Structure 1
Amino acid sequence: MRTRTRIAPVALAAVLVAGGTMLAAGQAGAAPKAGPAVKATCYGGAKYYTSTAGGGSSNAHWPATGTWAYTTSNCNDINVKSDVSLSVKVCFKKTGSCNGWTSAKAGVWTVVAKDVLHGSGFYLQFNRTSSSKGWIAY
């Protein structure tokens, strides 16, 4: 009986270790394919922003006038989570053009540009003159 009681805990420990190793390996292999895991990595690198207020006929924008943000390998898209509901468009350095307006609800992640090449220069333009705050992941 002693042999059985000693073997059982050792066998149980070996099964738990093997199961944990298999689970970790399964998670590691699945993480890049799973949408939430990829988004968590993208949003995990998000930066808090405060847009520069516009004036007259100029809309608020981010980053500061005359500067560009550059996309990273953290995300394939440019995502915004603003403190207020507004519309956003992305303007690109290379092409000198902007995409159309995208409505973004307050407190919700919104994709404002899809499938953007890494290292692309861009700025955001908001459909208002007053400043906004929130998060941006790119």
Structure 2
Amino acid sequence: MRTRLVPFAMTAVLLGGGTAAVATAPAQAAPSGPDATIQSCYGSARNYTSAPGGSGSNAHWPGTGKYAYTTANCNDINLKVNYDRTVRTCFQKTGKCNGWKKARKGQWALAATDVKTGTGFYIQFKGANRSTGKIAY
């Protein structure tokens, strides 16, 4: 009987030591620098559904005659579309739009870069179909 107890006792010691080693492992530090900024920006993302286009007009977000305003959360306007779309950002102050950009399904895309906090904008989606996904700005 003694020979059977020794392996069980050793197994218990090893398991106990393994658990202690896992419990005392150092935690990983939170990201810093550009990675932390991106993570906090995407963390503020919200779902969107664009208004449909029609009669030759493109779909757009946030709505007809409405603007969204950039926040201090992000330096850029970022989209994660549920279906591939071609997009551009139009600005309230200038009345102009930037160039068309391809946004791929399920991937973050830059709709506009280096945008000042408080800037009024809307997003156009090429074509009349509604667009859905996430937006961070």
* Band of TM-score, shorter chain: 0.7 to 0.9
Secondary structure in 2 matching 1:88: strand
In the TM superposition, structure 1's runs of 4+ consecutive aligned residues that sit over 6 Å from their partners are none
Q: Scaled by the length of structure 2, what TM-score is found?
A: 0.77
2: CA distance, partners of 1:44 / 1:55: 33
What residue identity is the alignment partner of 1:124?
Answer: I
Residue 129 of structure 2 corresponds to residue 104 of structure 1: no
Quick one: percent identity of the two aligned structures? 50
CA offsets, 1:83-113, max 9 Å, x none? 0001100000011100000100000000110
Which has the higher Rg, Structure 1 or Structure 2?
2
Which structure shows the bigger proportion of residues in helix conformation?
A: 1
Superposed, 1:56-135 pairs within 5 Å as 56-135=55-134
Report deviation, 1:36: 2.2
CA RMSD of aligned residues (A): 1.7
Superposed, 1:44-63 pairs within 5 Å as 44-63=43-62
Match of 1:41 in 2: 40
1: CA distance, partners of 2:96 / 2:131: 23
2: CA distance, partners of 1:62 / 1:122: 9
Secondary structure in 2 matching 1:99: coil
Q: Which runs of 5+ in 1 are unaligned?
A: 1-15
CA offsets, 1:41-100, max 9 Å, x none? 000000100000000110000001011000000000000000000110000001110000
1: CA distance, partners of 2:90 / 2:46: 19
Q: Which runs of 5+ in 2 are unaligned?
A: 1-23
Secondary structure in 2 matching 1:42: helix
